Structure 1
Amino acid sequence: MACSIWLHTSLFSPALLPFISRRTNILSSNLRRFHRSVSAPNRCKPPPIEVRVQAKRSFSLKDDEVASPADLSFQAPLKIVEYPFPILRAKNKRIDTFDDNLKKLVDEMFDVMYKTDGIGLSAPQVGINVQLMVFNPVGERGEGEEIVLVNPRVSKYSKKMVLFNEGCLSFPGIYADVERPESVKIDARDITGARFLVNLSGLPARVFQHEFDHLQGVLFFDRMTEEVIDSIRAELQALEKKYEDKTGKPSPEKVATRQRRTMVAGFGKS
């Protein structure tokens, strides 16, 4: 029997409809694989996930460098960037231009996300260092809701933490437990540039946090305990060797000599 996590579309206000349009509108990675890592009973009868617009609110992004047209240029088809390519750690620029090129980029991101069996994808994962993510918690084209977030910021997060088995399109075939807040409140812009405030919980909150980390140059294994890292260390090292064989250069980072990173403010303890 087909199963899916679904959203309460009746809870969306008219102001959010451009943000949640079925064809033109985010996040990274992999997370249709999250469905596969959850037991069948939990997948088949999930509780409804509420996403509610609270109010519009302005927020400052003055410290972020603005993306130029060159930063937003791309060639289709897009390809997934795998660890340890440095672009996954690079700074991502703020988007200030909301035009047809951005809409085309979003469409292409959804296309590669579905083709690679993901439910979320961030722009740096396709080689574009800008603050953009797309996701669809159902992970099927034509089903669920396609969501686009531009220049997102976390304004609040829950104290309750939840452990969940995550995967990532930039780490093919690797799955491990990551602890994250159960819910988050987000400031962002939609595909038209309109600002809004929205609450996410459950799977959408998980997907958002995973993709938001990508926009901060944080990868999902940065949030794992050393014990969990040990369980996937050989697979990470295999990706590092794959990079070296492909580029002829030493890996820009190695899990064998890694030091635990300081986490982005807003998502629990480092």
Structure 2
Amino acid sequence: MALLTILTAPDPRLKKKSLPVAAVDDDVRQLMDDMLETMYAAPGIGLAAPQVGVLKRVIVLDIDREDTKTGPLFMANPEIVEASEEDATYEEGCLSLPEHYADVVRPAQVTVRYLDRDGQKQELACEGLLATCVQHEIDHLDGILFVDHISALKRNMILRKLLKTRKEKEREEAEGAPAATVKEPATAL
């Protein structure tokens, strides 16, 4: 397994639509394993392939690392086939928008259909944090970030801060100065 580089906004690759995988083969399983290791190291609870620069419809999730009954979820070609009319609001974060959070309203329950790590068709009813996380990661596959669900004013403030941080880091690296100390982030999707 290998740690992959997580892209941060406003990287244009995060806004591209991903292509379906033809089959869950060894290459896709390796991608899933590498993504899971990267997600855990970040730390996060969900990661989509576009976040590591791979435009494939693949996501990994683990909302409860302590619960060995459910364990991590590996999804290829996930699609929401049913969504509740009832909404839920969660404060979302994202590994591609580090240290930025906002309340996002999404359907409270969804049913997702996908191919699992073995290439078998699965359908899973999700609610609570799992429903939010599944929707957040599927959004990534369509080039949508959680900030696309909030007001333009808040979204632009977050994106400007991320761009400023990136430019400062690039300047410091160019000057040979050590990069600023980064505090450990809260768990993000």
Q: Same fold (TM over 0.5)?
A: yes
Q: CA deviation at 1:224?
A: 1.1
Question: Could you say which residue in structure 1 is the equivalent of 2:128?
Answer: 202
Given that 1:174 and 1:232 are in contact with CA atoms closer than 8 Å, whether structure 2 keeps it comes out as no
1:108 aligns with 2:34: yes
Question: Could you say which residue in structure 2 is the equivalent of 1:238?
Answer: 161
Q: Deviation per CA, 1:146-178, whole angstroms, max 9, x where unpaired?
A: 001110111110001111111000000001110
Structure 1 counterpart of 2:5, which letter?
A: K
Match of 1:161 among 83, 87, 90: 87
Q: CA deviation at 1:247?
A: 7.8
Structure 2 counterpart of 1:240, which letter?
A: L
After superposition, the Cα gap between the structure-2 partners of 1:203 and 1:170, relative to the gap in structure 1 and judged at 3 Å, is same
Match of 2:14 among 75, 88, 99: 88
Q: Alignment partner of 1:206: what SS?
A: helix
Q: Deviation per CA, 1:176-220, whole angstroms, max 9, x where unpaired?
A: 110011000112111122112221111111100000100111010
| Number of aligned positions between the proteins | 171
Q: Distance in 1 between matches of 2:118 and 2:95?
A: 27
Q: CA deviation at 1:98?
A: 2.1
Question: Could you say which residue in structure 1 is the equivalent of 2:183?
Answer: none
1:212 aligns with 2:130: no
Superposition CA RMSD, Å: 2.3
Given that 1:137 and 1:144 are in contact with CA atoms closer than 8 Å, whether structure 2 keeps it comes out as no
Question: Could you say which residue in structure 2 is the equivalent of 1:72?
Answer: none
Q: Deviation per CA, 1:12-71, whole angstroms, max 9, x where unpaired?
A: xxxxxxxxxxxxxxxxxxxxxxxxxxxxxxxxxxxxxxxxxxxxxxxxxxxxxxxxxxxx
Q: Alignment partner of 1:240: what SS?
A: helix
Q: Distance in 1 between matches of 2:22 and 2:147?
A: 31
Q: CA deviation at 1:231?
A: 4.7
Compute the TM-score of the two structures, normalised by the length of structure 2. Answer: 0.81
Match of 2:58 among 119, 128, 132: 132
Q: Alignment partner of 2:17: what SS?
A: coil
Q: Distance in 2 between matches of 1:240 and 1:102?
A: 32
Question: Could you say which residue in structure 2 is the equivalent of 1:170?
Answer: 96
Which has the larger strand fraction?
2
Q: Alignment partner of 1:109: what SS?
A: helix
Q: Alignment partner of 2:122: what SS?
A: strand
Structure 2 counterpart of 1:236, which letter?
A: L
After superposition, the Cα gap between the structure-2 partners of 1:130 and 1:140, relative to the gap in structure 1 and judged at 3 Å, is farther
Q: Distance in 2 between matches of 1:119 and 1:104?
A: 19
Structure 2 counterpart of 1:86, which letter?
A: P
Q: Distance in 2 between matches of 1:137 and 1:118?
A: 9
Question: Could you say which residue in structure 2 is the equivalent of 1:78?
Answer: 4
After superposition, the Cα gap between the structure-2 partners of 1:196 and 1:174, relative to the gap in structure 1 and judged at 3 Å, is same
Q: Distance in 2 between matches of 1:84 and 1:176?
A: 17
Q: Deviation per CA, 1:102-149, whole angstroms, max 9, x where unpaired?
A: 222111111111111100000000111100000001146968510011
After superposition, the Cα gap between the structure-2 partners of 1:142 and 1:187, relative to the gap in structure 1 and judged at 3 Å, is closer
1:185 aligns with 2:111: yes
**Percentage identity across paired residues of the two chains:** 35
Given that 1:114 and 1:141 are in contact with CA atoms closer than 8 Å, whether structure 2 keeps it comes out as no
Q: Distance in 1 between matches of 2:68 and 2:11?
A: 32
After superposition, the Cα gap between the structure-2 partners of 1:143 and 1:111, relative to the gap in structure 1 and judged at 3 Å, is farther
Compute the TM-score of the two structures, normalised by the length of structure 1. Answer: 0.58
